[in-house]
Structure 1
Amino acid sequence: MKIKGIHHVSAITANAERNFKFYTETMGMRLVKKTVNQDDTSVYHLFYGDEKGNPGTELTFFEIPMAARNHPGVHSISSISLRVVNDNALIYWKERFEQLQVEHEEIKQRAGRASLAFKDFEGQRLVLVSDENNQGIKGGKPWHQSPVPVEYGILGLGPVQLTVPVAAPTQQILEDVLGFREVGTFPAYEVGQRDIIVYEAGEGGTGGEVHIEERTDLPPERLGRGGVHHVAFRVEDEEELHQWVEKLKKSRLPNSGFVERFYFKSLYFRERNRILFELATDGPGFATDEDSEHLGESLALPPYLEDKREEIEAKLKPLNTKRF
C-alpha cells in the first residue's frame, strides 16, 4: 500500500466554454474526457491531460455556472502546478503569456526549481515548474496535435500547495496515514511567514510533492470559481483501494468508502484541516469508452448513467469540443 504520487486535481470554473478554450488553446493541453459531475449530472466535468490523460497529468474542472469568485484563505488547496521539460521551456511560456495577455509573474526559484506563476481567466492560481533536475516520477507525453510545440508542452501535474492555519494536523495525516515523507523546506512567498514544508510520495520529484504553507493571518477560504475542489493521489488498483478503505476506518477518519467512477475507482476523505483528499486508481483509464484518437470530442457517460443521457443532455448547455 503506497501512494504513487498525484493522480489529478479538480477545480471549479463558471464557464466551460472559456475554460475549454483556455486550457486547450492557450495551455495546449488535451481535453481527454467531456463528461458530467457524477454527483450532480446537471454540470460538466472536463478532464485535461497529456496525450492519453495518464494518471498524474489530469487537471479537471467542474462547471458551476453561478459560482461566485473564489476568496483565498486557509483550509485550502491554494495553488496547483504543471510540469514542463526544462528551464528553457519557461522562457517560451513567459513570452507566450505576454503575447496572449495571461497574467503572470517573473521566472523564479521555488523548492529548488525554476518556476513561473500565472493565473487563468478566472484567477485560478497555477505555477509552471521545470523538470530539468527532476529525479523522481516521470512526466507524461504532450499531445502531438497541441498548438504548443511538443518540446514545450505540459508533461503533467506538479506539486500542490495546501494553505492551513496549523500545519501539524495535515502533516500527521500525510505521514502516519498516507506514508508521505518530509524532505525539506523552502522560503515562504510572503515576508515574515514560516518556511513552506515539502512532502513527497512514491518516487518523489515534481509529480509526487505536496507543499504545506502555514498562515495565521488569513480567513478560511470561500470556495468558488478559480478555486480548487480537491486533490487526488494515485493508488495501484481496486484491490489496494479497498485496503485503503479499511486503513482509514482503523484511523477513525470519516470517508466515502469505495466509489465507482468508471474511469477510475475512488475514495474520499477530509484531512484534519478540512481539505478534501481523494485516492484514485491508475486504471482503467479514459480510452475505456472512446477511441484514443477522439477522446473528449463527445459527451461520455459511464454505463450506469447512459440510460439517463437524454435527460442529462437536456440540462447541459451545448459545448463543441470537436477539433476538426
Structure 2
Amino acid sequence: MAIRTSGLHHVTAIGGDPQRNADFYLRTLGLRLVKTTVNFDDPGTYHLYYGDESGKPGSLLTFFPWRDVPGGRQGNGQATTTSFSVPPNSIGWWQQHLADAGIETSRVTSTDNEDTLSFRDPDGLELALVAHPQGDPRDPWDTPFVPAEHAIRGLHSVTLSVAKEAATASMLADNLGLTFHSQHGNRLRFEAADGGPGALVDVLVTPDAPDGLVAGGTVHHVAWKVPDDATQRAWREELVGKGVQVTAIMDRQYFHSIYFREPGGTLLEIATEDIGFNIDEPLLELGQALKLPPWLEPNREQIQAALPKLNLPDENNPEVAERLRA
C-alpha cells in the first residue's frame, strides 16, 4: 500500500427531526454547526456538519436529518459507535452534564486506560466520549454550553461491527494503510499514521449478531482523510486496480470524495482535506445560512420551501460566544 490515510475525516449519520438534532449537538455536546446545506443527492433534506470552530477534518460528525425517518438497527456491516475525544479527567464532568440533560450513560475504563462514557443521542445513535490518558492537543470549539477545559477535541475513533474479521482487517491494512495496534477479546484496534485520538478504528467481531439496517439513529458512512485531489486520484486508481468497486470522484463542495465498501459491509469514503468550509461564507458566519452548491442554486426557492425551519442559537457565532463567556 503506497498511500496511507492520516486519520478520520468525518462520520455521517442519519437523524430524525433536524431541530432536535441541532439542539442536542450544539447545546448538549457543545459542537459548532459549521455548515448548513442539503444532501446533494437528495436536496429535500438538510446536511448538517458539526465540528470545531472551523470544521477541520477529524472533528466532524455530519447528519442527514429526516423528521419522519424510520428507526434503523445497529448490527454487523456498519459503524456502530462514534467516539469523540475529551480531555483527561473530564469524564466525570460529562457524566453529570449528560445526567442533567436526562441522558443515561455507562462509564468504563478500557484496557488501553482510556476512560469512556457511552450514551445515545435522541435518535438512538450510539456515541462515546473517550479521555485518552496522553490527552489530545487539538483545540476545541469554546462555547458557553460546554467550557473549553472539558470540551470535545474532535473524533476519537469509530467501531465497525463485523461477522468475520479477516477480510475487513485486510482492507484496513492493505487499502487504507492502517496498522494493527492491539486486540482485546473480540475487539481489534487499528491506527492511522502515529495513532492516537482521531486516527483509530476498532473492529468488533460479533458473528452471532444480526446485520444492521441503515436508517434513523445509525451511521451512513465513515470518511478518511487524504491531503489533495492528486493523491485521491492515485488512491482511486490503486483501489480499482485491486478490484475494489469505487465510485467516481464526487464534488461535495467542501471536499472531494470517493466511496467503496469494506468486505464487512460498512460504506467508507476517502475525502480531501484541502478545500474547507470557508469557501462560501466567512469563519464568523459558518453554519448560519443555507448554502447550496452552484448546480442547486437555481432551485433555491423550491429547496428552501421544502425544508423545515431551523433555529440556531446565537452562540454558534464566535463573536457572540466570546461575548457571552466574558
| Stretches of structure 1 lacking an aligned partner (at least 5 in a row) | 188-194
SS of the counterpart of 2:84? strand
Instruction: Summarize deviations over 1:200-257 as a string: whole Å, max 9, x none.
Output: 1122112111100111111111122110000000001111111111011101111112
Q: Distance in 2 between matches of 1:121 and 1:83?
A: 20
SS of the counterpart of 1:255? coil
Question: Does the CA-based 8 Å contact 1:74-1:218 persist in structure 2?
Answer: yes
2:305 to 314, 317, 321: 314
SS of the counterpart of 1:210? strand
Question: Does the CA-based 8 Å contact 1:72-1:221 persist in structure 2?
Answer: yes
Hey, what does 1:43 align to over in structure 2?
45
Q: How many residues align?
A: 313
Question: Does the CA-based 8 Å contact 1:12-1:229 persist in structure 2?
Answer: yes
Task: Report deviation, 1:158.
Answer: 0.8
1:30 to 14, 29, 32: 32
Q: Which amino acid counterpart does residue 271 of structure 1 have in structure 2?
A: E
Q: Distance in 2 between matches of 1:229 and 1:139?
A: 28
SS of the counterpart of 1:98? helix
Hey, what does 1:58 align to over in structure 2?
60
Distance 1:287 1:147, change over 3 A: same
- The TM-score, its normalising length taken from structure 2, stands at 0.93
- 1:121-270 superposed matches below 5 A: 121-134=122-135, 140-187=138-185, 195-270=186-261
Task: Report deviation, 1:111.
Answer: 3.8
Q: Distance in 1 between matches of 2:43 and 2:198?
A: 30
Hey, what does 2:11 align to over in structure 1?
9
SS of the counterpart of 2:110? strand
Hey, what does 1:118 align to over in structure 2?
119
Distance 1:142 1:39, change over 3 A: same
- The TM-score, its normalising length taken from structure 1, stands at 0.93
Q: Distance in 1 between matches of 2:107 and 2:264?
A: 31
- 1:273-292 superposed matches below 5 A: 273-292=264-283
Hey, what does 2:318 align to over in structure 1?
none
Q: Which amino acid counterpart does residue 34 of structure 2 have in structure 1?
A: V
Task: Report deviation, 1:131.
Answer: 2.9
| Stretches of structure 2 lacking an aligned partner (at least 5 in a row) | 316-326
Question: Does the CA-based 8 Å contact 1:70-1:223 persist in structure 2?
Answer: yes
Question: Does the CA-based 8 Å contact 1:90-1:107 persist in structure 2?
Answer: no
Deviates more, 1:296-305 or 1:52-61: 296-305
Q: Distance in 1 between matches of 2:111 and 2:225?
A: 24
Q: Distance in 2 between matches of 1:31 and 1:132?
A: 28
Q: Among the aligned pairs, what percent are the same residue?
A: 37
Instruction: Summarize deviations over 1:285-313 as a string: whole Å, max 9, x none.
Output: 01111110111111011222222211211
SS of the counterpart of 2:237? helix
Hey, what does 1:109 align to over in structure 2?
110
Question: Does the CA-based 8 Å contact 2:113-2:132 persist in structure 1?
Answer: no
Task: Report deviation, 1:139.
Answer: 5.1
Question: Does the CA-based 8 Å contact 1:260-1:266 persist in structure 2?
Answer: yes
Question: Does the CA-based 8 Å contact 2:107-2:115 persist in structure 1?
Answer: no
Task: Report deviation, 1:68.
Answer: 1.3
Question: Does the CA-based 8 Å contact 2:14-2:215 persist in structure 1?
Answer: yes
Structure 1 runs (4+) greater than 3 angstroms displaced? none
Q: Which amino acid counterpart does residue 280 of structure 1 have in structure 2?
A: A
Hey, what does 2:320 align to over in structure 1?
none
Question: Does the CA-based 8 Å contact 2:76-2:162 persist in structure 1?
Answer: yes
Question: Does the CA-based 8 Å contact 2:26-2:33 persist in structure 1?
Answer: yes
Question: Does the CA-based 8 Å contact 1:10-1:62 persist in structure 2?
Answer: yes
The CA RMSD over aligned residues, in Å, is 1.4
Deviates more, 1:313-322 or 1:274-283: 313-322
Hey, what does 1:190 align to over in structure 2?
none
Task: Report deviation, 1:146.
Answer: 4.0
Instruction: Summarize deviations over 1:96-120 as a string: whole Å, max 9, x none.
Output: 1111111211242254311111111
